[in-house]
Amino acid sequence: MLHALPLAESLAETTTSLSGWLTGLFSGTAPEPGASSSAAGIIVASVLKATVIVLIVQIGMLYATWGERKIIGRMQDRLGPNRVGLFGLAQPFADMIKMLTKEDITPTAAHKWVYNLGAILVVPPAIIGFAVVALDRNLIAADLSIGALFFFAIGSTAVMPIFMAGWGSRNKYALLGAMRAVAQVVSYEIPQVLSIVGVLLLAGTLSMNGLIHSQGPIGDAFPGVWFILLQPIGFVIFLLATTAEIERTPFDIPEAESEIIAGYHTEYAGIKFGLFYLALYFVTISASAVGAILFLGGWQPPFAFLAGIPGWIWMTAKTLALVFVFMWLRGTLPRLRVDQLMAFAWKVLVPISLVNLMVTGLLAKLVAGRAPLMVFGAFTVANVAMVALLIWLVAGWRRFNAARQITFERPAVQAVGAALRRGAA
């Protein structure tokens, strides 16, 4: 299936055209008849593909840190990094050199193996998810039939290194941070995986390329539009749950420095501390890429007449747009409290995503085979109705809460007053 070239041949092709070579290398889904696939060919091609992916992601990560500091800086009326190189563009490399040349301190009390393995294993889950990210029509490393599920399964393993880091550090705050992080990540995993069921239901596939193909530019057949238009509630839930899943502000309680120092990576120094940041930015990029594939049509242009622009430009732009949203959230919202955080996942996001799923299922059956405009209209009406219902429920809940506080606060105040008077007497 793979357009596997012998090493010499593929290297020769590299010099001629990089993008052509990439397309050839990644053409795992569009096989050319008679393409040879020997064991050695598969391994060589896989190693090359993996190296290309890691390099792209590495550069993306370095500049995501720079971009985040610039963007947050501007939002807070600062300039951000601007000393190293033009516009501070060399800042990420300066940071990298700093990380590498700092002393790597391992606490004597730590459980050496678990402590070190925790730092090492935090990176692979963040990288492996990129295997199923499609950059262009034929630019996907592994178009697994279960692509979307694969991504979330790999993402779910990220809790293990966190736990190992917190426990291996043998530090109260690190362990507490790890426990909180794991509880948070697993709680938000449920709304995250539930929010995309509506998309899967409309696309009828789990394969990343299949999902993108069912979101063709406007003008194509049903579903024919980006799923964000049919599943806006699912998209918002996905965005919120993913923010919590990758522990970014406002859901970065595991590293809330005012409460638990730096959470599970309190005891890490130098490069091992750097690895945690590496993983954080890797997952930010991969989650944005998957969000772009699931809800924004991946490499598909928004309108048919824009098809001249290459797909990888659309995909990159959409991914960067979502990365920007994550940074924007960080610059805007304050951190939640840990009990609010857990309640938000289970009492708000899970019920909403279940209702959204049922409504989507019903609508998909009702409008099956209808004209795209009618499908879009039906979904819009349903989504507006759901949002209105939600606003009504929230308003009612707030009124109820306000009323309850008035009734219950008085006896409590009286009891405290009585106790104080008794103490004074």
Partner 1 sequence: MGENWAFVAILTVIALTIPILGILAAMVLAPKRPGTIKNSTYECGLETVGDAWVQFKVQYYLYALIFVLFDVETVFLYPWAVAYQSLPLLALFEMIIFLLILGIGLVYAWRKGALEWI
Partner 2 sequence: MMEMLAFGLVAGVAVGGAIGVVAARNVFVSALWLVLSFIGVAGIYAILGADFLAATQVLIYVGAISVLILFAVMLTHHVMGDERSNNRQAFLAFIVSSSVVAALGVLAYRTDWPIRPADAGGSVVTAMRGDLAGSSAASTAAQTGASTALTSTVDLALNQDSNVVRLGQALMTEHLLSFEIISLVLLVALIGAIVIARD
Q: How far is the CB of 209 from partner 2 (least distance, A)?
A: 6
**Residue found under tokens 């009734």:** 407
Which strand (E) or helix (H) includes residue 76?
none
Residue pair 91/350 in contact (Cβ under 8 Å)? The answer is no
Partner whose footprint covers residue 296, from partner 2, partner 1, none (CB < 5 to 8 Å by kind): none
Q: Does 135 bind partner 1 (CB under 8 A)?
A: no
Residue pair 129/155 in contact (Cβ under 8 Å)? The answer is yes
The whole-angstrom distance between residue 229's C-alpha and the CA centroid of its chain comes to: 20
Residue type, position 106, single letter: T
Q: Does 149 bind partner 1 (CB under 8 A)?
A: yes
Residues of this chain, 22-61, that bind partner 1 according to CB under 8 A: 28, 37, 42-43, 46-47, 49-51, 53-54
**CA-wise closest residue to 409 among 419, 420, 417, 397:** 417
In sequence order, the β-bridge partners of residue 27 are: 140
Cite the DSSP H helix spans in 296-349: 311-332, 338-343
From residue 230, how far is each of 197, 381, 416, 419, 420 by CA, in Å? 13, 10, 53, 58, 59
Residue pair 89/306 in contact (Cβ under 8 Å)? The answer is no
Judged by beta carbon, residue 19 or residue 380, the one nearer partner 2 is: 19
From residue 165, how far is each of 127, 174, 264, 273, 325 by CA, in Å? 19, 8, 6, 11, 29
Would you give the binding string for partner 1 spanning residues 60-99, x where CB under 8 A is met? ---------------------------------------x
Per CB under 8 A, the list member of 167, 235, 251, 379 interacting with partner 1 is: 167
Stretch touching partner 1 by CB under 8 A, among 184-192, 236-244, 306-314, 323-331: 184-192
Tell me the C-alpha distance between 414 and 369, whole Å: 65
Tell me the C-alpha distance between 171 and 50, whole Å: 36
Q: Which two tokens stand for residue 37?
A: 């696939």
Binding site for partner 2 (CB under 8 A): 1, 29-31, 33-39, 42, 111, 113-114, 137-138, 143-146, 149-150, 152-154, 156-157, 159-160, 163-164, 167, 179, 182, 186, 189, 204-207, 209-210, 213
Q: How far is the CB of 121 from partner 1 (least distance, A)?
A: 8
Partner whose footprint covers residue 213, from partner 1, partner 2, none (CB < 5 to 8 Å by kind): partner 2
The three-state secondary structure class of 125 is: helix
Judged by beta carbon, residue 30 or residue 190, the one nearer partner 1 is: 190
Q: How far is the CB of 86 from partner 1 (least distance, A)?
A: 26
Would you give the binding string for partner 1 spanning residues 330-349, x where CB under 8 A is met? --------xx--xx--xx--
Residue type, position 356, single letter: N
Stretch touching partner 1 by CB under 8 A, among 7-15, 263-271, 290-298, 325-333: 263-271
The residues near 404 (Cβ < 8 Å, ≥ 6 apart) are none
Q: How far is the CB of 372 from partner 1 (least distance, A)?
A: 16
Judged by beta carbon, residue 253 or residue 292, the one nearer partner 1 is: 253
Q: How far is the CB of 288 from partner 1 (least distance, A)?
A: 19
| Side-chain-facing half-sphere of 58: CA atoms under 13 Å | 11
Q: Does 204 bind partner 1 (CB under 8 A)?
A: yes
- What is residue 137's DSSP assignment? T
Residues of this chain, 99-118, that bind partner 1 according to CB under 8 A: 99-110, 116
Partner whose footprint covers residue 137, from partner 2, partner 1, none (CB < 5 to 8 Å by kind): partner 2
Judged by beta carbon, residue 193 or residue 225, the one nearer partner 1 is: 193
Judged by beta carbon, residue 349 or residue 382, the one nearer partner 2 is: 349
Tell me the C-alpha distance between 109 and 369, whole Å: 65
Judged by beta carbon, residue 88 or residue 161, the one nearer partner 2 is: 161
Q: Does 174 bind partner 1 (CB under 8 A)?
A: yes
Q: Which two tokens stand for residue 284?
A: 């930010």
Number of residues counted as binding partner 1 (CB under 8 A): 93
Q: Does 358 bind partner 1 (CB under 8 A)?
A: yes
